[in-house]
Amino acid sequence: MTHTSDIYLEFTDAGDIIRIEPLSLTYPNGQLDWDRNWIKTWVTVKGGVFSGQFAAEFMTTDFEVFKQQLKKLDNDFNGSATFEPLEGQLILKINGDGLGHFELDCEATPEPHLEQTLSFSISFDQTQIKENVKQLDKITKKFPIDGDFKIKNE
């Protein structure tokens, strides 16, 4: 199944890809703040000769926290940013070398209880960060944090 949306977060490097496409809120009418902030998402990963696609659920707060961390990387090339949702289906860790080069380590685990993980790295430079922040801004505008959470949309 292939999804194409104009709202996504994507990292690429020489044919490798991580693409996260938020589709819809999982429980838009939930009684609890917690429930109203889950997003059904489609994830595409390709690392070397291995690739896959899977459905995942992330929270609105996951995207907002990651966006705020990436904004800081645009000014601090020694910094880091982490996308580490509660369910652990996709973990992204970005580290800078201080010179404007970044390494993104990806762990994709579609069904964490099966303990099957695709791990790979993508390299990029500081010129990609502004575009990734724009992509995350579109996501956080379409799926803003709803309710009483410590983290707020910027």
- Judged against a pLDDT cut of 90, whether residue 1 lies above it is answered with no
Query: So where are the chain's domains?
Result: 9-142
Please state the separation of Cα 101 from the chain's center in Å: 19
- Residue at token pair 């652990």: 88
Question: What is the tens place of the pLDDT at every residue in 30-40?
Answer: 999 999 999 99
Give tens-digit pLDDT for 43-52: 999 999 999 9
Where does 48-99 show beta strands of DSSP type E? Answer: 50-59, 80-83, 90-96
Pick from 8, 125, 12: nearest CA to 63: 8
Q: Give the pLDDT of residue 95.
A: 97
Instruction: Say yes or no to pLDDT of 151 above 90.
Output: no
What's the pLDDT tens digit per position in 56-83?
Answer: 999 999 999 999 999 999 999 999 999 9
> Tell me, which fold does domain 9-142 have in CATH?
Transcriptional Co-activator pc4; Chain A (2.30.31)
